[in-house]
Amino acid sequence: MVLAPAELARFIDHTLLKPDATVRELDELCTQAVRFGFYGVCVNSVRIGHVADRLAGRGPLPVSVVGFPLGASPSAVKALEMATAVEQGAREIDMVLNLGAFKDGDHALVAADVAAVVRAAQGVPVKVILETALLSDEEILLACNICVNSGAVFVKTSTGFGSGGATVEAVRLMRKAVGPEVGVKASGGISTYEKALSMLDAGANRIGASASVAIVSAKNPEGF
């Protein structure tokens, strides 16, 4: 696959999730997202109201994370964070799977956790972050099935805070698990044009990256 920078930008959530992100950095993130035509701007939930205001009527969608980056919050807390983010303007949500419960084999709890956030979303699309570097191939397939059956419309590889990021192999497995109708988001360690395209070739239809500007500028250093 070969895409022009402007075409590739439409697949990217421009991301800033570091804990010390400042308002000035978030404002620059939004300005870049509008300039380059990124699909969305993904930030921590405490900042989503500010980002939603900055992006209003300008194109890119405000995206918030929930239960980030560990996925270890109680379901009621995740649901409240979800509802608050939506109230403040989030138009997509990336939540983190309850990895401990999943590793315990408590699949009912994992499913209920995802379903609680989906209910609180009130129709706002929910992506579930699997942290694929911590899962076997069989676990990736199972986690995808649980998430889809619980109402998620996307599955996502990584938080970017774990032991590894997105891989082509994980994306292929996820696409195999969810079929053509559910989204797959590749995130974590994607910093080049070539790697972004490899994820799309493998079956991703969204990219999460903090190096978004560098990715789309690689083939067009002067910008759009």
Catalytic residues: 94, 156, 185
The residues that bridge with 43 in the sheet, in sequence order, are 16, 64
d(CA 100, CA 184): 22
Nearest Cα neighbor of 32 from 56, 7, 11, 15 is: 15
d(CA 152, CA 126): 5
What is the DSSP track for 121-164? HTT--EEEE--GGGS-HHHHHHHHHHHHHTT-SEEE---SSSS-
Residues in the chain: 224
